[in-house]
Structure 1
Amino acid sequence: MTEPLLFILAMDQRDSIEQKLYELQSAPTPEQSASIAANKLLVYRGLLDAVPGVPEGARPGFLVDEQYGGSPAVLAAADSRVSVAMPIEASGQEWFDFAYGHDWRTHAEFFGAEHPKVLIRDNPGLDEQHRAEQAGKIATISAWARKAGLEFIVELLVPAGDDDLAEVDGDTDRYDREIRPGLTVRAIEYLQDHGVEPAIWKIEGLAQREDAERVAAAARRDGRDARCIVLGRHAPQEQLDEWLRVAAPVEGFIGFAIGRSVWWDALEGRLAEDLDEAAARKQVADNYTHFVQTYLAARA
């Protein structure tokens, strides 16, 4: 039986929207908060415009935060065509922390999201105490999600350390190609050994098929049933297309979760008043559809 595909439009960014898109230097005003919320709803509507073009056997998803995305979260939860994912982590933190402290379970359950999600940064060269403390928190979420029958997503970023960059003469592209894949496998295995057992690993793009195969094998180590999806990292379309083409044919990869590469330019156009709402929605729908078609073509 063919594994169902999952194509998530990620719109759970908070700090980056405030600081980089809206260029805020302080906490948003009520008017600015309302504008951010309205733009999250616009992006969701753009996704809905694209949903009829998603083929059978593939499921659209929407990843959105409670802070600014309550309206689309409610709408998506009521729409049987769309899988809802929502973040548990506080935004903009170096190490994982809960967005709502000890009350995280109440918030995680409130909207009925099928995919609770956390973003973490890990690298075998980072401080061991911080790594272990972070893994322990994620393991708690992992156990809760499995007991609740939810498909937990761990978004894993593996930033380069100084020693990593020294190996490639400071070339970040070489780090991505030559070093990050192996560190990603080691980070997954470390987290698994510390009780982190997501249904889905959200992974940075890989340049070579054999690296995607190594990562997928790590996710399924020792009989585990986890799958992988490709994250966007606000990469240019050409770069993202290549990452999707590498991952799509690999057993264990089932789709993507792409955000800013789909909607950033459209929202910049809205804020600059260069695009009306209909044009911005169309741009979101077209970009999302492009990545879906790229993935499907590579998988075929």
Structure 2
Amino acid sequence: MTVPVTPAPTHDDPLLILAMDHRGSFGSSLFGVEHESPTDEQAQGMRRAKQIIYAGLRDVRSQVTAGRVGVLVDEQYGAAVVGAAPADGVVLAIPIEASGHDWFTLEYGDKWLDHVREVGPAYAKVLVRDNPSFDASDRSRQLDALAEVSGALADARVAFLYELLVPATDEQKASVDGDADRYDRDMRPELVTRVIADNQQAGVAPTLWKVEGLETVDAARAVAAQARAGGHDADLIVLGRDAPPERLEHWLDVAAQVDAFVGFAIGRSIWEDTIRDWTRGSVDDAEASARIGRTYLSYAQRWVGDIAR
């Protein structure tokens, strides 16, 4: 399959992604899957749920007044969505990391790039957990692996989406008395910039950084400055981290004030509660899709409204 050439998003022409590439956590939290080994019935339910989530996005895409609608979806349970999205004019991103690993591991081993070429997504996504205080040798191996992926995607002319999570170490948690909000506000921005710098030094060059929301405009500007440091021209999008609506809205409001932020990738905050209700039988397929579509559209409209101000 030919890899599509997708115009790069900009602050005023954003990429607004509904993320549903969750696999292990999707099954365990919503379908009762144990040890990442779903029964046939559970797997069928997960596949159907992803189609319902996508239907909500598809049905409201024409109401998004600026930017492009995107979906980040796995092939394991979202193969039907992978096949439908390009034909629907929805920007397709797929994960290439294996689910459920502490350190970055490729889903398809040394065949991963052949697989990307076969699918033909606009973006290939990696999920990485990193912190400058993690074990140095483990970090070095992870950075080397990511540099290989980065170079291979560049040669293949496939855009590289790097999802970065920076969890606190035990010592960092203790330094803020276990207050997660203080960690997010006072510590995480500097750690994010250091991790981005370490990746850049290792030769990792994403097209887009997908980062956790930031509490202040100054913090967002500092992270954006690092993403573009040293001749790098990467932009950023905000991830949702299953945050409650008021927190997520604040993160979007902050990011929208920084030109290097060019959209969002929000997942569980949009669909998790609705899919839980669906699994319990309290909403049918149509109502579940409609609720998901309305929630996605509310975040898309908020971003568009923020950048217009």
Q: TM-score, normalised by structure 1?
A: 0.97
Asked whether the equivalents of residues 12 and 65 of structure 1 are also in contact (C-alpha less than 8 Å), the reply is yes
Distance 2:107 2:146 in 1: 13
Distance 2:155 2:111 in 1: 18
SS of 1:125's partner is: coil
Distance 1:2 1:176 in 2: 24
Distance 2:83 2:92 in 1: 9
Matched residue, 1:48: 58
- The offset of 1:2, in angstroms, is 6.2
Matched residue, 1:70: 79
Asked whether the equivalents of residues 154 and 198 of structure 1 are also in contact (C-alpha less than 8 Å), the reply is yes
Deviates more, 1:222-231 or 1:162-171: 162-171
The answer for unaligned runs of 5 or more in structure 2 is: 1-9
Matched residue, 1:32: 42
4+ aligned runs moved over 6 Å, structure 1 = none
Q: Establish whether residue 222 from structure 1 lines up as the match of residue 230 from structure 2.
A: yes
Q: Establish whether residue 16 from structure 1 lines up as the match of residue 28 from structure 2.
A: no
CA spacing shift, 1:211–1:103, aligned 2, 3 Å? same
- The offset of 1:101, in angstroms, is 1.3
Asked whether the equivalents of residues 115 and 152 of structure 1 are also in contact (C-alpha less than 8 Å), the reply is yes
Matched residue, 2:120: 112
- AA at the equivalent of 1:44: Y
Distance 1:123 1:3 in 2: 31
Matched residue, 1:211: 219
SS of 2:71's partner is: strand
What does 1:92-107 correspond to in 2, within 5 Å? 92-107=100-115
- The offset of 1:141, in angstroms, is 1.2
SS of 1:78's partner is: helix
What does 1:1-300 correspond to in 2, within 5 Å? 3-26=12-35, 27-56=37-66, 58-79=67-88, 81-300=89-308
Asked whether the equivalents of residues 11 and 262 of structure 2 are also in contact (C-alpha less than 8 Å), the reply is no
- AA at the equivalent of 1:127: D
CA spacing shift, 1:42–1:2, aligned 2, 3 Å? closer
Asked whether the equivalents of residues 77 and 111 of structure 1 are also in contact (C-alpha less than 8 Å), the reply is no
Distance 1:294 1:241 in 2: 8
- The offset of 1:105, in angstroms, is 1.2
- AA at the equivalent of 2:51: L
SS of 1:257's partner is: strand
Distance 1:206 1:297 in 2: 19
Distance 2:257 2:90 in 1: 24
Deviates more, 1:94-103 or 1:6-15: 94-103
- AA at the equivalent of 1:46: G
Distance 1:177 1:113 in 2: 35
Matched residue, 2:3: none
Distance 1:159 1:238 in 2: 21
Asked whether the equivalents of residues 65 and 304 of structure 2 are also in contact (C-alpha less than 8 Å), the reply is no
Asked whether the equivalents of residues 86 and 115 of structure 1 are also in contact (C-alpha less than 8 Å), the reply is yes
Distance 1:31 1:6 in 2: 34
Deviates more, 1:19-28 or 1:239-248: 19-28
RMSD (Å), alpha carbons: 1.2
Q: TM-score, normalised by structure 2?
A: 0.94
- The answer to which structure, 1 or 2, has the higher relative contact order (CA under 8 A, 6+ apart) is 2
Aligned length: 298
Alignment identity in percent? Answer: 44
The answer for unaligned runs of 5 or more in structure 1 is: none
Asked whether the equivalents of residues 116 and 124 of structure 2 are also in contact (C-alpha less than 8 Å), the reply is yes
CA spacing shift, 1:161–1:2, aligned 2, 3 Å? closer
